[in-house]
Structure 1
């Protein structure tokens, strides 16, 4: 049913060969991942004062949700690469189009690198990952020399934290841009990804 609705949505074009808005699969993935990322950032900030070397149930929850989020991001990227995105407003300046495309690319890169660095971090520390206490998730295999040196285990928490803070900043810019389109430009950019689309007055 969802796939059928996706095809119907993609048949409604703007004259550029692109759909007017994202289909239901893309919309669901966008908002589910957004909620998971907000949860992960909040949980990460709360855990910031807890040493990674002193694992708690919160660490295991953080790792579990992180792995699930990473898998959903992979699905989202594959879906995005195989389905055309809606066209941007025709009156949007070229510079803003370039910035929008660059921002989209950066957000995808952060969504990939952030969970991967977390996975690499716990792998370097040889810390087990048990998804929600039920299913063991494999660690990234690393050379024994890397494990013995301990250098990767030492730097990865800082790398992961730096990426998380940077990602949070880009998310804030993304939200500000959405608010700008919604309330200042008053165009249809935000409507393309909203779960419920109605007429604008």
Structure 2
């Protein structure tokens, strides 16, 4: 019998990454416009959480490559399958690129990343260049906005499947409910 839902490990990583991404977006939003002494501690947590998201995303990709995943529902239209594949590919690309760019940007200012007081990730071997760092952080911010828009599209798709199509697709990523794959 084909699997109709993701494994518990995939579900846990999905929801941890989702919560971390939204939290990290809010940390950056809260820090924006604050004086440096107030924004600094928020951005320290933002950076550490970003690196945590990177680690979770790499684990999620490894998990995906080593564990079976449910097939997409045959009831999905062709465009929905294509859009789902594009959105998921973009998620992985951005969830890796965003923290790497943040680390490169921090490194170009000469700083490492304090991981919640447990240890420090050293700066990457890049030139100390504030102009390049500023440009990298600008790209980082734009990609962050793209990620939040992608999250919104993903949520809208899940809600469409749940409440309009009533096909139970949402339950594929939850440990309860009945997927109708």
TM-score norm. by structure 1 comes to: 0.82
> Is 1:22 aligned with 2:6?
yes
SS in 1 for 2:125: coil
Q: Which moved more, 1:95-104 or 1:169-178?
A: 95-104
Task: Show the 5 A alignment for 1:80-159.
Answer: 80-142=64-126, 146-147=127-128, 149-159=129-139
Aligned length: 180
Q: Which has the larger radius of gyration?
A: 1
List alignment gaps of at least 5 residues for structure 2.
Answer: none
> Is 1:194 aligned with 2:174?
yes
The structure 1 segments of at least 4 consecutive aligned residues displaced by more than 3 Å after TM superposition are: 50-55, 197-200
Structure 1 partner of 2:152: 172
Contact 2:24 2:50 in 1 (8 A): yes
Q: Which of 39, 47, 55 is the equivalent residue of 2:31?
A: 47
**1:3-58: CA deviation from partner (whole Å, max 9, x where unpaired):** xxxxxxxxxx33xxxx2110110001111111111100111111122477996211
List alignment gaps of at least 5 residues for structure 1.
Answer: 1-12
Q: Which of 26, 31, 43 is the equivalent residue of 2:15?
A: 31
> Is 1:60 aligned with 2:40?
no
Deviation at residue 73 of structure 1 after TM alignment: 0.9
**1:65-86: CA deviation from partner (whole Å, max 9, x where unpaired):** 1111211111001111222321
* Change over 3 Å in CA distance of 1:199–1:81 after alignment to 2: closer
Contact 1:89 1:188 in 2 (8 A): no
Q: Which of 131, 143, 146 is the equivalent residue of 1:163?
A: 143
SS in 2 for 1:56: helix
Structure number with greater CO (CA < 8 Å, separation at least 6) is: 2
